[in-house]
Amino acid sequence: MKFKDKKNFSILIVLGTRPEAIKLCPLIIEFQNHKNIQTKVILTGQHIEMVSQVLDIFGVKEDFNLQIMKKKQSLGYITKSIIEGLEEYFLKNKPNLVIVQGDTTTAFAAALISFYFGVKVAHVEAGLRTNNINNPFPEEVNRKMITQLASFHFAPTKIAFENLISTKTLGVIKLTGNTVIDALMLIKNKFKYNENQSFRDSKKIIFASIHRRENWGKNIRNISYGIKEIADKYTNVKIILPMHKNETVRKPIQDILNNHPRIELTEPLNYKDLVSTLIDSYFVITDSGGIQEEAPALGKPVLVLRDSTERPEGIEAGTAKLVGANTENIFNFASKLLEQKTFYNEMARSINPYGDGQASKRIVSVIFESFGLVYDF
C-alpha cells in the first residue's frame, strides 16, 4: 500500500455507547493499521462498563475519556457535558476529521461541536429513517441533525443511500454496507464458534433484549408479559434475557420474569458471549437496532419489539417481523416460529441485507481518497 506522507493528519473517532463501540471498533482497527496518520479514540462515558468490555474484546484502547456518566442522566445533561468536554479537547487538539456512528446523543453532540470548530464530520450508518421524530426518540432527530452537519455520509444499505440522495443531502455519499457485519465476522473468526447442537436439540434458545427509550414504562411490561406467556406454554424453550443497567428497564422485567424456571435474566453480555448466544439461539426477540442486523447474518429470525423500524431491509427481506410491544403479537409470532417449521425456515433462510464484512475498508478508502491519501487495496 502506498500513501502520501500525512503524518500530521489526525482522525478523531468519538463513541459513548456499546452499539457505537461494536460498530466502530472494526473501523478503528482499519485506520490504526496505517501509521502515517494519527487515529485517536475518545469515549464520552455515556455508557461505561459495557463499552469497556467491547473495546477489550477487540483490543482497542481509548486515548481520552470524558467520563460524563452519572445516575439518571438526562438527555440535556449528556448533550451539554459532551459538548463542553469536546470543546476543551478541541482547543488543545483540533483534528482534521471527526467520525461518529449512528444516532446516539454522543454522535449528535460530537457532530455539533465539530461543526462549531469547523472540523469535517463523517457519519457512519447514515441515512436511516422512520420519518417520525418521536419514534425512535431521540434517535430519529439525532440522525437527521447529524446529516445536516456531516460532510461524509456512509450508508449501510441501498434504502439508507436512497434516503440521502432523495433529500439532496450535501457532501460525499457512499454505500458501504454496515460495519456491524464487519464486527460480527471479526469476532466469529477470532473465537471460532461452533453451534452447540446437542444443547439446541434439547432446548430451543430464544434470545431477548429490551432497552429502547420508547419502550420504557407500559411497553416494557407488555413485552415482559408476552415473553412470560411463551415460557409458560413451551416447556422446551429457554429464554435468555440480558438486562440493561438502567433501573427503569430492569425493574419491570425483574418484577414479571424473575424466578421463572425457563427464563434466565442475566447481566449485559460482553460482545463475545452475545455472538455465542446468538449463534446458539433458535430465534431472537429484540428492540435493538444492532441485533436486527446481526441475527439475520447468522440465519436467526427476528421479532422486532417496535411499531416501525429504520431498518426496513430486514422486514422486506423476510428475516424480521414487526410485533411491537403488543403482548398478543409477541406470543402469536413466537408460537408460529416454534410450531410451524415452514414459517421458521422462510425467515431463517432469507438473505441478509446488511453487508459483506468489508464496510470498514470501503470507508477508509473513501476518506483516504478525499483527503489525498492514496489507498491501494
Which residues are tagged catalytic? 103, 125, 139, 211, 213, 244
Tell me, rounded to whole angstroms, the distance of Cα 296 from its chain centroid: 14
HEC secondary structure over 12-29? EEEECCHHHHHHHHHHHH
CA distance 153 to 318: 27
Strand partners, 43: 15, 65
Q: For residue 316, give Cα distances in angstroms to 190, 294, 308, 312, 342.
A: 31, 16, 13, 6, 18
**CA dihedral angle for residue 163, residue 166, residue 170, residue 175, rounded to 10 degrees:** 50
